[in-house]
A = this chain, B = another copy of it.
């Protein structure tokens, strides 16, 4: 085989999707296992990539195409363009990663008026023959010659009414010819060229058109959403045509080997008699189910079932296929491992284990954390009468219900009145932030998963459906329309951020059974446990068995700790002590800052200690026997005080009105002004606070030691660890370590108790990462604060980034993903790995974890496993996801995401 760009289907197998595209690789596989595949060949992605780079068809391609065509002619005993014995082919796109509907297909290439005439005579079915030609001209005109669909629609309407029929399938030969003629004239008018008649030119230009469609706007958008690299290119499959539209014992269909929606066993699909191509999915005529097909066409249905069983056994997974029947003979046009819902993914995986087709390890590779997360969200109860208005891009999961509002200010007003609203916008901008905060959910008609609305909503944990292109938003008119229907401001809708569905009216929201199970409210052995709960239970149990990474939770309160433990956390990896002084307890820090002398300050610190201790007791009780990592006070003190701008406004107003200003207000104002920093993220916080106000950290460890004693008295086993934030240099760590160890032993003295409390440090400044070897000397453990580390490595403020430039960056593909959602392995990851390697060079068993948001992100977890961290810590509800992905990580999957780096 010396060909460079073209291989027949008998070459290769399904592992070669890089070269052959997914469709081509699977065709090769089917040929290999002896399934009835119409012969043909694949033009490789290599040819497409060259075309994309140079803008021209590779110079050797025409020659190879001719040779491949001649081989095909020989194999089938037909001739391309020969009216006597015509070879007709389909020209289909087929990229490595499925991009359904995003690229182009031209069927019936090889048809000419002469061929149609001859075919009519040979088959004795002129209507069939002219319909084939009509289909070719339709597709060629639109796809190759770029005639807008709307123009062909007009012609179609004109012809149908001229012939007095309702559908193309009702046209006879003269009607079909008139329609085809109309298409040709329109194409010639728009292109200014004669419609070509040479089938070889048709073929070449169709191939080019498919290449070209790789970079269509919708294909680019799709890839961006799905994180598919944009330089892969598509293969093109040229396959001999089978005519499902030839006779009444012909037809075409699609089928799944199991139900892709629920995972129910048994094949599932649709069949359409006397039809071709996309007629099934186009929904033009009513299809029949596979059950009905079994009744009407038992023989071919039997064959189909056999093929499907064969494919499932071979692929060891749910397959979907496209098949065509020509005069009672079954042909398989394509197959692939089928897409499925999250529920189906879990159910099918365990079914295949039970059927002996895959191991439980493999089952674990078939599901993912994102799917588990989806199953954990509350869901709409769709059992009643439900009206789905539209379906957009599921941009931020959740189920939100509220009255439609088209303006951020009004959304805020409504929410202040206690009303639940859904903010509906064409697209959002930073000016909409206030409305987004106020709303239950966000619905937009434009933009994808990287749009402003999507990025900000995910950052806020707010439900969002974006890019719902079927709706038209009239913001000034105060309504949106979809399919002719209008929804006005104030009407209630329900949006599902996990599926992208938009429903009219208020849908009841039900708790997820998977969550009930994970929260221990539902046993997987119970009769009420649905199949998906049982499937999740089996797979998660296996993940727990094989995973290497420990999974802890970020928990700041006893309630969080209890929930986390139930959800499977093996300790607290991050207890943020500042959260204990927010909300109603905010005043403590304010009083601390305003204390007029050291006695008063000591008094306030004493009061804080009591509160702190109670929190520690509750958390360590909940985590008895498991480690609880307490991070000492981290944020700048002014975060506990009123904002400067607000105070400035109050003071100016008071001054202007000559109102009296209380001494306390003046003091607060002075303190806030004094403590104001232009970049608090880079200011007096973390370890720096601990050094400037030594009493603060001492109070915290005292509270921790007292809590430890109390928890022991209650018969539990507390295992606290102390973590120092924002360390940048060894000396800080040594200084504080000595002071804290001293305080711990002083506090223990005379209590008759002893305790070894490990003292570790966050690694969250780049300097800490690159000098980890020195820090490690004085640290019992490291915990990566990947949020701060990302901020500092990129110079992106997490607080600002989403509302300012990040969406634009994502749109321009300057960032393929948000580095705060998924770890930037090529940048921040290098620092994480460097620090880990340095620490392990000190002690091979140096304990290292991560406690940023990335601890719950699937692809980041795989990275953390790979470089050998000991644990990840994430928010309690992410714990099951982290458990699952930690198990998957052990299996060293190559997940799509890891192909993408932030350049």
Instruction: Name A residues whose Cβ lies closer than 8 Å to a Cβ of B.
Output: 430-431, 644-646, 648-653, 655-657, 674, 677-684, 688, 691-692, 726, 728-732, 734-735, 764-767, 770-771, 774, 788, 791-797, 799-801, 804-805, 808-809, 812-815, 824, 826-828, 830-831, 902-903
Contacts and interface: CB of A to CB of B under 8 A. Distances in A.
A677 B793 contact: no
Contact of A651 (B649, B677, B679): B649
A804 B765 contact: no
A797 B827 contact: no
Q: In the complex this chain forms, how many copies of it are found?
A: 2
A572 B651 CA distance: 47
A902 to B, nearest CB: 6
A799 B678 contact: yes
A831 B831 CA distance: 11
Nearest to A730: B903
A725 to B, nearest CB: 10
A614 to B, nearest CB: 31
A826 B771 contact: yes
Contact of A679 (B652, B653, B679, B692): B679
Q: Which 10 pairs of residues, A with B, have the shortest CB-CB distance? A: A682-B797, A730-B903, A649-B652, A679-B797, A766-B766, A656-B656, A653-B656, A767-B827, A652-B652, A731-B903
Given A683-B804, A903-B729, A793 B766 contact: yes
Contacts of A794: 728, 765, 767
Q: Name the residue in A674, A729, A830 with the highest tally of chain B Cβ atoms < 10 Å from its Cβ.
A: A729
Contacts of A656: 652-653, 656-657
A728 B795 contact: yes
A356 B682 CA distance: 54
Given A652-B656, A678-B799, A765-B795, 13 more contacts: A648-B649, A652-B653, A679-B799, A679-B800, A683-B797, A683-B800, A683-B804, A688-B804, A688-B805, A691-B812, A692-B805, A728-B793, A766-B793
A655 B653 CA distance: 8
A805 B770 contact: no
Nearest to A734: B903
A85 to B, nearest CB: 52
A688 B808 CA distance: 10
A682 B796 contact: yes
Nearest to A770: B830
A731 B804 contact: no
A431 B496 CA distance: 54
A730 to B, nearest CB: 4
Nearest to A771: B827
Contacts of A766: 766, 792-793, 831
A655 B677 CA distance: 27
Given A681-B678, A691-B812, A729-B903, A770 B644 contact: no
A68 to B, nearest CB: 37
A418 B262 CA distance: 82
Given A812-B735, A814-B729, A767 B793 contact: yes
A594 to B, nearest CB: 15
A255 to B, nearest CB: 42
Given A682-B679, A800-B682, A652 B657 contact: no
B800 A684 contact: yes
A823 to B, nearest CB: 13
Contacts of A830: 770-771
B731 A692 contact: no
